[in-house]
Structure 1
């Protein structure tokens, strides 16, 4: 089994795919063959956008993935851009349906990046939420938070959830160019509360190495 990392975020559109692409490059620089998997993608009208982006990026660094196709990378695809529970009309989803694709991809990689959908408490079906996937996949979680006003609350809630579920994780902030108020409205608290924290655009190589240490 390859080393597995589950990518999650404090909400949707926070930067999971962006961060996953950076991690693909960072792990590749460390000499590792990187695979990608997105178990569920909603809002799919033709091809899954996020899954296709991940697949294309990973193939640039790991050509052995060329034997796969996008349906190996994204197992469940739903047209409605909503939570899997809503997009699938509340029908049960058997998590074991992900196993075959997972093993197929892992035969071609040393480390596997698994990207979730939305935040940790996005409902998959009546029995499962996204936060259940890291344990099912036996993966370390990397949580991404934003730098807009409100990021403190969103970060702490998600970290509390991961701690409560006793899941191993690291986390980082995805600050964008237009997050002008972060230094004055949020950064002082992060500096007070945490001895160290990662900024994704600045620390991606350190994040990759720390994730490997956490998995080991």
Structure 2
């Protein structure tokens, strides 16, 4: 059975797509055929920009995916840049449409990276939130968090949500060049709180190995 990784973040514009692209490369280095899937993308005017980035990167490393197109990679494309509930005018969404699309991708890969939209508490419809997708897909979650002041609060809240939902997960910090205060304002407490901390840029191969070992055990 194809293995599944669900990529989420503490908010929008934190680095899910950036992280997913690095993971494509890292899993490829582990000898795996990697697939990508983004069930929902909002803010789509002509093409799904995140979806096309993921698709083009994955096709470089797994040419078998070239038999698909970006509409296979992004099932639900909505024009308003908002939560899916809002962008889809509150209409119910049948999650089975995602299962059918994912099966088509999984036929061509060993592991698939599934990228969420926004953070864990983003509403998909009146019954479902983004945090419900990892369980629906039976996927291991990677939480991407930021390094700005406030990352402690944002990270702990998202981790608590995953723990309360009994969802297995790892987390990593995507530190951007402008987030220079991380080492002095946040890292001391995080080092105190957690035995292991991953940096997306420095530790992507270690993260990929940890994810693969977790879903293979």
Q: Are 2:96 and 1:96 aligned?
A: yes
CA RMSD in angstroms, aligned pairs only? 0.5
Shift of 1:97: 1.0
The residue that corresponds to 1:192 in the other structure is: 192
Q: Quick one: distance in 1 between partners of 2:196 and 2:109? A: 31
Q: Which runs of 5+ in 2 are unaligned?
A: none
Cα deviation code 1:145-187 (max 9, x no counterpart): 0000100000000000000000010000000111111111101
Q: Quick one: distance in 2 between partners of 1:100 and 1:123? A: 21
The residue that corresponds to 1:42 in the other structure is: 42
Q: Quick one: distance in 2 between partners of 1:197 and 1:122? A: 25
Q: Are 2:84 and 1:84 aligned?
A: yes
The residue that corresponds to 1:212 in the other structure is: 212
Q: Are 2:97 and 1:133 aligned?
A: no
Say which SS state the counterpart of residue 117 (structure 1) adopts.
Answer: strand
Aligned length: 216
Shift of 1:62: 0.2
Q: Quick one: distance in 2 between partners of 1:206 and 1:91? A: 40
Q: Which runs of 5+ in 1 are unaligned?
A: none
Q: Quick one: distance in 1 between partners of 2:74 and 2:80? A: 15
Q: Quick one: distance in 2 between partners of 1:37 and 1:65? A: 11
Say which SS state the counterpart of residue 198 (structure 1) adopts.
Answer: coil
The residue that corresponds to 1:166 in the other structure is: 166
TM-score (norm 1): 0.99
Q: Quick one: distance in 1 between partners of 2:40 and 2:163? A: 24
The residue that corresponds to 2:154 in the other structure is: 154
Say which SS state the counterpart of residue 131 (structure 2) adopts.
Answer: helix
Shift of 1:129: 0.2
Q: Where does structure 1 differ by over 3 angstroms across 4 or more consecutive aligned residues?
A: none
Q: Are 2:26 and 1:26 aligned?
A: yes
